[in-house]
Amino acid sequence: MGYKVLLAQDVSESGKELLRENGCEVILAPREDPEVMKELIQDCDACFSKTFFFSEDILKEGKKLQVVSKHGVGVDNVVDVATATGLGLYVVRTPLANMDSVAEHTLGAILALAKNMLPLEKAARRADFDAPLSFESHDIGGKTLGIIGLGNIGRTLAKKAHGGFDMEILGYDPFVKKEDLPDYITCVEDVDDIFRRADYVSLHLNASPENDNFVDKRRLELMKPGACLLNFSRGSNVNEADLYEALKNHVIAGAALDVFAQEPVRADNPLLSLDNVVLSPHCAALTVEAMDRMSYQGCQGIVEILKGEQPTWCVNYEEVRAMREKG
C-alpha cells in the first residue's frame, strides 16, 4: 500500500503486524509533544492514539491524512470529531475491544464494596480478626444493579451480573430500543427510578455537555442509604464534591471510581481519604487481552479506510464520505 501510520504511543504487536502485512510503514513518535507530532504527521496517512489529543493545528499539518484511530472506545480524549469531520478525516475506534475487561472490573468493584474488602484486607494485615464483627458484608445475588448506558459495556455487564451472580438488572438508555435488549434487562423510562431502586448504580456514559455532573447531590439523595455508585465511564459524569459529601455523611454506602474529573487525580482530592470508596487509576480497560484487541481493531480500522473499504467502527463515516464525494 505504501502508506505511513503515526503512532502517538506504542501499541501491542498484533496491530503493528497487521499494518505491516498491509504494506504500511509504522512510525512511533519518540515523545508526546505537539511540535513533534506536527512534524511527523506531515507525511502520514493515518494516526493512532491511546490518549494523546490530536488538535486541529496538528491535524492540519497532515496533508495526506485520511483517518484518526482511537485505541479504545471514547474518542473525545484523542480528537474532536466535529473538527476531524470538517477536515474530511474519518475517526475510527474499538468499541468491542474492552467491553469484557471493563465489565469484569466493574463486577470486581461491586464485590469489593459488598464484601468490604478494602477495610477487611487492612484488618487482616494487622492481624485484627475481630474486625469482621464491625463491618456488614453482603451477598450480591438477588440485589438490583442499575446500569445507565446500555452500549456494549453496559450490556456485557448486565449479562455477566445476571447470568453469573443472579442480580436483577435495571437499565436506562434513551438511544437503545427495548426490543433490542434481552428479557433480563428491565428498562425504565425515567433515569431517576434507577437511583431510587438500585442497590448498585453503574455509569457507562460518554463524555458530553449533557452528561456533565449527571450524578449530583439531587440524584445521590435519591439513592438508598445502603446503595453504592460506580463510575467507569468519564470523570465529568459525577460531581465529585457532591459525591464526597454523600459518602462522608453516609447518604450512600459506598462508591467505586475508575475515572476522575482531573487525571492524574490530585493528591489532595478528598475522595482519596475515604474508606468507603474503591479507587483505580483509569485502568479498567487495560488488561493484556483488551490492549491486544484495541491495538488490532484500531489498526483494522486504519487498514479499512486506506483500502477504500467501509470501516467497521467509524463514528463519522457518512458525513466524511459525503464530503469526499462532493470533492
Letter string b/e over residues 132-160, b meaning 16 or more CB atoms within 10 A of that residue's CB: eeeeeeeebeebbbbbbbbbbbbbbbbbb
196-205 confidence digits (pLDDT tens): 999 999 999 9
Backbone angles phi, psi at 160, to 5 degrees: -70, -40
Separation between Cα atoms, residue 145 and residue 107, nearest integer Å? 10
Annotated active-site residue in 56, 263, 289, 309: 263
Q: Work out the average pLDDT over 224-235.
A: 97
Q: Which grid cell sits at 94?
A: 474499538
Q: Please report which confidence band the pLDDT of residue 207 belongs to, taking 50, 70 and 90 as the band edges.
A: confident
Q: Please report which confidence band the pLDDT of residue 4 belongs to, taking 50, 70 and 90 as the band edges.
A: very high
Same domain (yes/no): 132, 270: yes
Annotated active-site residue in 93, 105, 219, 234: 234
Q: What is the CATH number of the domain that holds 37?
A: 3.40.50.720
Q: Work out the average pLDDT over 7-30.
A: 98
Same domain (yes/no): 188, 234: yes
Overall size of the chain counted in residues = 327
74-111 confidence digits (pLDDT tens): 899 999 999 999 999 999 999 999 999 999 999 999 99
What percentage of the chain carries pLDDT values higher than 90? 92
Same domain (yes/no): 163, 294: no
At 187 the pLDDT is 97
Annotated active-site residue in 138, 196, 282, 321: 282
Q: Which grid cell sits at 20?
A: 505491516
Q: How many domains does the chain have?
A: 2
Separation between Cα atoms, residue 145 and residue 113, nearest integer Å? 13
Q: What is the mean pLDDT of the chain?
A: 96
Same domain (yes/no): 22, 153: no
Q: Which residues pair with 257 in a beta bridge?
A: 231, 279
Per the CB < 8 A criterion, the answer to whether 50 and 183 are in contact is no
Same domain (yes/no): 14, 139: no
Q: Which grid cell sits at 158?
A: 448486565
43-61 confidence digits (pLDDT tens): 999 999 999 999 999 999 9
At 1 the pLDDT is 60
155-178 confidence digits (pLDDT tens): 999 999 999 999 999 999 999 999
Same domain (yes/no): 252, 320: no
Angle 117-125/99-114 helices, nearest 10 degrees?
60
Q: Which grid cell sits at 290?
A: 483488551
Same domain (yes/no): 307, 236: no
Same domain (yes/no): 59, 120: no
Q: Work out the average pLDDT over 282-289.
A: 95
Same domain (yes/no): 112, 216: yes
Residue 92, domain extent: 3-97+288-326
309 burial class (0-12, 13-18, 19+ CB within 10 angstroms)?
Answer: exposed
Type of residue numbered 77: N
State pTM to two decimals.
Answer: 0.87
Is 234 catalytic? The answer is: yes
